[in-house]
Each structure stands twice: as structure tokens, then as C-alpha cells.
Amino acid sequence: MENAIAFPFERGKLYSVRTLDRFLANLVKARQRDPTLSAKERARSLPWAKLWCEELYPVKLYVAHHQLPDQVKFRIMPEGDAVDIELHAPGAITRFQITLAYPDWDAPAAPSRNPGHVASLERAGANQQIPVFLGGRIAKTPTGQIVSDPRVRDNETDQAACEAGLRKALEDKFSKAARYIGKVDILLVYFNRLGFYTIDVETTSVVLSVVAEEIRKIGQSPFPRIAVVDDVPLIYGEYP
């Protein structure tokens, strides 16, 4: 039943922002009907899944936060472009570079694994239908099996892991500043479950503090604006 969902978006074409909501609704229904499709979408193994999960869905959250009207359209740029997605409003175009952030559960251990790699192990474990402890100890055996063990954490540990993960995401993009200066209007950072892990603090304040700290390190941001979004719940933080 993997063909039960049709991916309607092509690079270079303009679409109404409302088509993102419609596709998400169709995708949710298709995943409920087809566990195999659901697992492949989660693992990013479908041809369109990476584009949807890592670029279009973050833009959908941005659109939802700002309650942009139907006449606003988006365009997916060619692969390799400095701009991932453009939003076209009457008289204005907003250009996005989009990246992901994950809690860095290994910090401050050395060497620290890439948080995105840890997140991919968690997704793989879920697809193998084994218990996965988010923020626990997780690894892959030589045979490819995911093993995950619980780890006692407190709220301070969760917040520190999120701060470290956000720093890594920003440092990676800041290190490529020459590629983006003058071409990108907003660096959009999608940090899934950020609100869940920082539920006992004011999440937006945590975000803005980390962003401001990282910008001070380099003197000036290569991006006119930096926005961080999450959907659990819908959180939005923008700098400046």
C-alpha cells in the first residue's frame, strides 16, 4: 500500500501553503492504514520523505505560527541551492535555509556523537519495534540491531542536552557563512520535541539565549533572522 499516498510537490513550482496542510492530513491517514508506509516515512527511506520531514514540514510549522493566508505560496528550490525553500507573498519573497537540531545526549562527554546520528538510531530502533528510550543509551550492534537502555535524567540534563544540540546546529551553519550571506533571509531550525524536553522552563527564552550566545562568538550572524520551531507544542522563537 506504499502507493496509497502521492507526493504532490515538485522543485521549482509554486504551491499554496494550504497544500502542506492537505498533504499532512492525507499522510496521517495513509500511515494509520499502512504500518509499512509509516515505518519507511519515519526512516526517511521513501524518495520524498527526507524533503517532507526536513524541509517542508518545518516550513509548515512556520506558516502555522504566522497564520499566513492562502495567497502565500512556496517553492522548493533545486538541490544544492543555498536556499531550500522560498515563500512568495504579494510583493515579497522570503528565502529559507532549513536545518535540524536534536538533543545532544552525549554532551559533555568526549567524543560526542552527532545528535542527528543518535536520532537516526532512535528512528531505526522504532522501526525494528524494540523499546527505544529517548535520551537513553543507544547503539547499533555489528548485525544492525538497535540496542537501547534507559538512563536516569533530570530536567537540568534535558535542558543542557537541548542547548548543546542547538549550539551544534547553529555552529554548523555559521561555519558555512560565506555560502549564505546575501542569499538567505531566515535560518529555520526545526527542533522536534524541544518543548517536551524543556517543559519546566520557558522554552523560547532558552532558545534565544543560545542563539544570542552563538552569534556573540562570531560577532555577526550570517542570517538576518533565525527562527526555531517545534510542534510539541507549537513553539516559535525568532532572533532578533
Beta pairing partners, 149: 137
Angle between helices 35-42 and 18-33 (to 10 degrees): 130
| Residues 198 and 160: beta-carbon distance below 8 Å | no
Of 125, 149, 173, at which residue does a domain stop? 149
Residue 86 and residue 138 in one domain:
no
Mean pLDDT of 89-95: 96
Can you tell me whether residue 85 is helix, strand or coil? strand
| Structural domain includes residue 108 | no
* Mean pLDDT of the 206-228 span: 95
Decide: helix, strand or coil at residue 89.
strand
**Is 176 part of a structural domain of the chain?**
yes
Same domain? For 33 and 77 the reply is yes
The per-residue pLDDT for range 101-112, each reduced to its tens digit, is 999 998 887 677
Mind listing the pLDDT tens digit for each residue in 24-80?
999 999 999 999 999 999 989 999 999 999 999 999 999 999 999 989 999 999 999
Flag whether 109 is in a domain: no
Measure the CA–CA gap between 116 and 112, rounded to whole angstroms: 11
In a domain, 23, yes or no: yes
Quick check: 211 pLDDT over 50? yes
CA-wise closest residue to 120 among 49, 24, 48, 203: 49
Give pLDDT, residue 134: 86
Same domain, 55 and 137: no
Across 121-126, average pLDDT: 90
Confidence of residue 115 (pLDDT cuts 50, 70, 90): confident
* Whether residues 56 and 171 fall in one domain: yes
Residue 107: inside a domain, yes or no?
no
Is residue 167 located within the same domain as residue 84?
yes
Q: What pLDDT is stored for residue 110 in this prediction? A: 66
The confidence score (pLDDT) of residue 114 equals 85
Q: Are residues 125 and 199 in the same domain?
A: no
What is the rounded average pLDDT of the residues 3-18? 93
Residue 229, classed as helix, strand or coil, is strand
Looking at every residue in the chain, the average pLDDT score rounds to 93
- Let me know whether 11 and 73 are in one domain: yes
In the predicted model, what is the mean pLDDT of residues 104-121?
84
What is the per-residue pLDDT for 106? 87
The type of residue at 184 is V
Count of domains observed in the chain: 2
Query: Domain span at residue 85?
Result: 2-102+155-239
In 41-198, where do the E strands start and end? 73-76, 85-89, 92-100, 137-140, 146-149, 186-190
* Residues in CB range of 10: below 8 A, 6 or more apart: 76
Distance CA 189, CA 99 (A): 5
Mean pLDDT of 212-239: 91
**Pair 79, 183 in one domain:** yes
The arithmetic mean of pLDDT across residues 205-212, rounded, is 94
In angstroms, how far is the first alpha carbon of the chain from the final one?
Answer: 46
pLDDT, tens digit, for every residue of 132-165? 998 889 999 999 999 999 988 999 999 999 999 9
- Domain match, 19 and 73 both: yes
Residue 3: pLDDT band with limits 50, 70, 90: low
Three-state DSSP at 86 gives: strand
Predicted pLDDT at 80: 95
**Residue 96 and residue 120 in one domain:** no
Is residue 10 located within the same domain as residue 98? Answer: yes
* CA separation for the pair 116, 100 (Å, rounded): 8
Q: Examine the domain organization and report whether 27 and 126 are in the same domain.
A: no
